[in-house]
Amino acid sequence: MSEEKHRARDDALVSDVLKNGTNLDRRSLFVSAAAFGAAATVAPAFAQQPASPPAPSAAPAAPARRAIVKDDSRVLNIGATVRSGNYWNFSTFMTPVEEFYVRNHYPTPTVVQKPELARDQWKLKIHGSSVERPLELTYEDLLKLPSRTIIATMECHGNGRTLFWEQGGFTGQDVAGGNWVMGAVGQAEWRYVPMSEIFARVGIKPNAKTVLFWSGIDGNDMGRPMPYSDVVAQQNDMGICYAMNGNPLTEDHGMPVRAVVPGWGGTASIKWLTEIRITDKRVWCRLNTKGEVYLGPSYGAPEHAADDEFIGVTAADIKGPMVTWMPPKSFITVPLVIDKSPSLPANYPLKKGELPKLAAGAQTMRGYAWAPQHGVKQVEYRIDGGAWQMATIRPPNLGKYTWVRFEFPWNAAAGEHVIETRTTDNAGTAQPEAIPVNHLGMANWSIPKFRIAVA
């Protein structure tokens, strides 16, 4: 069956998604670039809106199958199956799906290759040794369950890896992985069935230790365990998600259903979800042993027990602690200079070593800050190593899971300058000057340094 036919068949099912309505006037959140302003101060190349798509040619050839489905024109191509956000063009509070980063370990699976992802075929199994009454849900069943929406950032653990190379003094030998720059983060409204609803329906035994979110669709190692206690702590805020920004999930973002764990590194939010297993054992698989973990001299390998469960890995693969909450971070909407990184994203707006240009004079610099564990308390900036000054936070600020936009005036004098930004969260934790190396380049939250040439 063709993609189009699948889509047509899905229509009846997905129209239900929107019946629940939303809590917010979404239009007020998609503030136009004109209202908030892209980095209009930066040379036009970085401020301009995306170019309109090329006119279709007379006889379009059938496009080759792509590893991701969305159009590349509004994202940064950093590898075969990974796209970063063009964060220097961000201006809205909500990130449009078209501009939202995609982090896939394998190509995006589509219904043609994986019929079990069709909305009328999909099933979610909820079972395990700690479950009283195992449950199997269809997509229609899921849509009938009580749902909530949450506006939250989603960020890849590897976002900001670039900072290890550009300002941490580390090489491609020390730190390996995709060159996301700062764009593997976005903010969306997620509609989900909270885990609390699921737990109430299946009944959880007192012995529960682990909740394993599993796909197995895009690759046979794609799933991630979460400690049961952590899921309970967030049981109303996280869950089984089927809509993003008010529309059904697209292929790249986990169609038809994914997990969403606000505030935790993106890996926890397993896409193309098929199974939730709640067990009395600790579970180890690739994404909490040797992939998506802190690996380096400052990090010890976690302990394991004889009766732990291993999926496709052994005890010897347990190399470092998994990433959980994402730390406080910030950026201004200026492309970071890429000078020392082992790779340059194919469609990056700057050449290797090139500085972004800004016209001399009074400018308003703008940026984004987030700190999902405790929420953003304040954002500061400094210029050329001077005193830290308070940036102005622009509303809305909808709580700890949402990012904020900030701005500050700058009277830019001709010459080269460095702008730094620093988020402090409500627990008093501020972005540090530097962080210890970890070889997979996880969660670099050090103060970013943006170099700019003013003329």
Interface residues with ligand MTE (CB under 6 A) are 100-105, 154, 156, 215, 218, 222, 253, 266-267, 269-272
Specify the DSSP element, H or E, that contains 419. Answer: strand 415-425
CB of 276 to Mo ion, least distance (A): 20
Q: Of 6, 215, 248, which is closest to residue 111 (Cα–Cα)?
A: 6
Instruction: State in Å, rounded, how far the first CA of the chain is from the last one.
Output: 57
- β-strand pairing of 329-332 with 361-370: antiparallel
**Binding partner of residue 290 among Mo ion, ligand MTE, none, CB cut-off 5 to 8 Å per kind:** none
Residues in contact with 273: Cβ distance below 8 Å, sequence separation at least 6, in sequence order: 124, 213, 214, 215, 240, 254, 257, 258, 259
User: How far, in Å, CA of 82 to CA of 103, rounded?
Assistant: 5
In the bound state, the residue with its beta carbon closest to Mo ion is 156
| Closer Cβ to Mo ion, 266 or 327, answer by number | 266
| Closer Cβ to ligand MTE, 187 or 363, answer by number | 187
CB of 103 to ligand MTE, least distance (A): 4
Q: Which residues on adjacent β-strands are paired with residue 227? A: 210
User: How far, in Å, CA of 19 to CA of 446, rounded?
Assistant: 43
In the bound state, the residue with its beta carbon closest to ligand MTE is 266
| Closer Cβ to ligand MTE, 139 or 450, answer by number | 139
Taking CB under 5 A as the rule, does residue 85 contact Mo ion? Answer: no
Taking CB under 5 A as the rule, does residue 70 contact Mo ion? Answer: no
Length of the chain counted residue by residue: 455
CA angle 348, 349, 352 (to 5 degrees): 70
| Closer Cβ to ligand MTE, 322 or 412, answer by number | 322
Taking CB under 5 A as the rule, does residue 323 contact Mo ion? Answer: no
Ordered DSSP codes for 285-331: -GGGTTSSB--BTTBPPPP--TT-EESS--GGG--SPBP-BPPPEEE
How many separate helices (H) and strands (E) can be counted in the chain?
8, 24
Tokens of 440: 């997979």
| Closer Cβ to Mo ion, 156 or 454, answer by number | 156
User: How far, in Å, CA of 200 to CA of 195, rounded?
Assistant: 8
CB of 227 to ligand MTE, least distance (A): 18
Q: Which of residues 261-290 bind Mo ion (CB under 5 A)?
A: 266-267
CB of 156 to Mo ion, least distance (A): 3
Binding letters toward Mo ion, positions 221-260, x by CB under 5 A: ----------------------------------------
Q: How many residues bind Mo ion (CB under 5 A)?
A: 5
| Closer Cβ to ligand MTE, 109 or 335, answer by number | 109
CB of 63 to ligand MTE, least distance (A): 21
CB of 112 to ligand MTE, least distance (A): 18
Of 74, 103, 277, 290, which lies in the binding site for Mo ion, with binding defined by CB under 5 A? 103
Stretch that binds Mo ion, among 100-108, 282-290, 347-355, 380-388 (CB under 5 A): 100-108
| Closer Cβ to ligand MTE, 150 or 391, answer by number | 150
Of 42, 156, 226, 454, which lies in the binding site for Mo ion, with binding defined by CB under 5 A? 156
| Closer Cβ to Mo ion, 270 or 358, answer by number | 270
User: How far, in Å, CA of 336 to CA of 273, rounded?
Assistant: 35
| Closer Cβ to ligand MTE, 327 or 356, answer by number | 327
Ordered DSSP codes for 203-219: -B-TT--EEEEE--SS-
Asked if 187 and 245 touch (Cβ cutoff 8 Å), the reply is: no
Tokens of 66: 């792509």
**Binding partner of residue 218 among Mo ion, ligand MTE, none, CB cut-off 5 to 8 Å per kind:** ligand MTE
CA atoms within 13 A on the CB side of 70: 27
| Closer Cβ to ligand MTE, 197 or 218, answer by number | 218
Binding letters toward Mo ion, positions 116-155, x by CB under 5 A: ----------------------------------------
Taking CB under 5 A as the rule, does residue 177 contact Mo ion? Answer: no
Tokens of 434: 């530097």
User: How far, in Å, CA of 215 to CA of 425, rounded?
Assistant: 33
CB of 409 to ligand MTE, least distance (A): 33
CB of 46 to ligand MTE, least distance (A): 22
b/e sequence 190-210, b meaning 16+ C-beta within 10 Å: bbbbbbbbbbeebebeeebbb
Q: Which residues on adjacent β-strands are paired with residue 358? A: 42, 454
CB of 347 to Mo ion, least distance (A): 20
Q: Which residues on adjacent β-strands are paired with residue 260? A: 239
**Binding partner of residue 322 among ligand MTE, Mo ion, none, CB cut-off 5 to 8 Å per kind:** none
Q: Collapse the DSSP code of 79 into the 3-class scheme (helix H, G, I; strand E, B; otherwise coil) and give the result.
A: strand
| Closer Cβ to Mo ion, 292 or 380, answer by number | 292
- Enumerate binding residues for Mo ion (CB under 5 A): 103, 156-157, 266-267
